[in-house]
Structure 1
Amino acid sequence: MKFLLALLTVSSVAAFTPAAIKPVAKSIQLYGEYGASSTSFYTNVEKQDSYASLDDVLSVKCKDEKVRLVIKDMLDACADITEALRTALVTVEGSANTFGDAQLSVDVIADNLMWEACKNSPVIREGASEEDPEVRDTDEQGDGEYTVCWDPLDGSSIVDNNWAVGTMIGIWPKSTGLIGATGRDQVTSLVAIYGPRTTVLVALDDGTYEFSYGCTPEGCQLPDGTWEPWICSRSDIKINPDCKIFSPANLRAAQDVPGYKKLIDHYMADRYTLRYSGGLVPDVYQQFTKNQGIFSNPTSPSSPAKLRLAFEAAPFALLVEKAGGKSSDGITGGSILDVQINAVDQRTPLCIGSANEVDRFNDWVIGSEE
């Protein structure tokens, strides 16, 4: 089955040329065409004749062998979640997580797959899930290196609509662990989105890269007849400093924070495009495909913070900042990556995306509260 490029937003992989990778990377052929419209902020990148495989990219762009291993283990888990989502019904499981949210069967399945991946990985020592936010030992041999935190299936409120949902993963080294560390201590982070196709953003040594999951459970066929489950669909992604796309979360706070109301009015008056689903993964992920955007989630006394620092904000912030964007902790205006993690389920405000728009948020929203 051919991997339709009509469904794939890709960027140049010129970095993976014979000059950059020796020997030349195995290439995967993709087929199809797609259209673009500047007025709708569709992708403007062009089809490539071939794409580098996961191993080819990691060998050049991730110097630490153990980090390469944990990335591949997490991608395998995302592939398993992809297959589970294709067959699992969205039903209430009948239990609730620590935060009182009703768990859906797909949440439980995704979480179980993540725990299984951590227990089977030779380089992971600890895991923590948003569904049960406690750091637990997963390393029977005692030689693991990483603490992995994840939100197994972000988007419980929209998954029943069959909208795009995702998995967010942050990975911390043994030297820091999780408690007392910051998001800047992460060795890498990954965010997967499950839509018409599965794509995953990965923080590598020199930037943010996107990998696409194969068109069949077996993967994509290489010219030599072998199969590869993951290919690099976008390399060294950049988020422009200015944008015309906004995703305004926690609009209730605009009733309490004058600066947030002013900011929303500015977006509307200057005819920004609203792109908001209510799922953190699709609402921030679009910044990497459109190369622009701003997601804002301030808080107020009557609308407190809901986003989790370790499971959601820190993993996304690492990816955004490696792509040239900025993040704000919504309190001091500093990077969310510099906020110390003092509790597994720690909550935080968040603004993230195009740098100049994050600066505007800091000036108007945080400044209005001072």
Structure 2
Amino acid sequence: MNDKKKGNKGERIYLSSPHMSDEGYEKEYVKEAFDTNWIAPIGEHVDRFEKELAAKVGSKAAAALSSGTAAIHLALKAAGVGAGDIVFCPTLTFSATANPIIYQKATPVFIDSNQETWNMCPNALEAAFLKYPHVKAVIVVHLYGLSTDMDSIMEVCRKHQVPVIEDAAESLGTYYKGKHTGTIGDFGIFSFNGNKIITTSGGGMLVSNHKEKVAKVRFWATQSRDQARHYQHSELGYNYRLSNVLAGIGRGQLKVLDKRVEKKKAIFEFYQKELGGLEGVQMMPVNGWNEPNYWLSCMTVNSISPVELMEALEKENIESRPVWKPMHLQPFFGKYDYIGTDVSERLFENGVCLPSDTKMKEEDLTRVVETIKKLW
């Protein structure tokens, strides 16, 4: 990404752009992949990236895949989700969380958020189980790096004996009560898309303590090729494996994950100090049990229009965006059921995601807050 893109008001300030390590770890690993000619979806970097990420988050096994979406898809398949099954899914999320449910010909039921976490509301989840007692899986999302109230969610899901898939695409490096998000449920998924806290340009990872199921995911992701001299396929397969080149980038990025979390936290705390006292402004909730990675710093505003705020930032060549539009309000997903009290809708109507790029300098942050303060 060209970070020098200029407008009338100065260099572009991005929401969250790729940030390679100053040490050049990524270049070293990519060069090794080229030097050894291992540029296909197999190779030493793929194997090591899986092991290193699993060790980092404290999971027993991992499968490196082409995207976080692919990881959710195969997690649903590994959980036994198929045609006609019901899957509970947060409504306040990106569509990549919900799309794989449709891939499996299953039926999503969307669950509202609560104000305390911005994530899946345990009370709404319990109400959903009363309406739909036969559920195949529950997907939870750790939105913007804020962990879901996993104890409450897991208590409900364990009572109903339903597997839990954690969509931790936005929360690599986030802790819930000392445990990495993505490792509390039955399956966890991470994304390494270009805007995530670390990136492989495009890629994802599935983690689980169920080693045999991760091995099965790896098999499905490699076109379900049987062990035979000829090409033989006894099951439907997918072309979902991560390339060795991209895995090399991921290994380098993983080395600087803690630095990126530290910087993201500093950005959030700057905004909180400078903007938190403005009338009608409320920063995203950080609970005592939550150690976020602060992937995006978000806030709600009630005293002015969020669109007015975003337009003012854009005039200064500063990127921002709304909070995710809930799935039950999306044209494609509107026909599916929704359980809740419209907390997610209010967050969407009032929410703004502020620039949270780890390459931002203090003068960039100052430019952002000064632009916003002029509206008050």
Q: TM-score, normalized by length of structure 2?
A: 0.31
RCO (CA 8 Å, sep 6+): is it higher in 1 or 2?
2
The structure having more radius of gyration, on CA atoms, is 2
Greater fraction of residues in helix: 2
Normalised TM-score (structure 1): 0.32
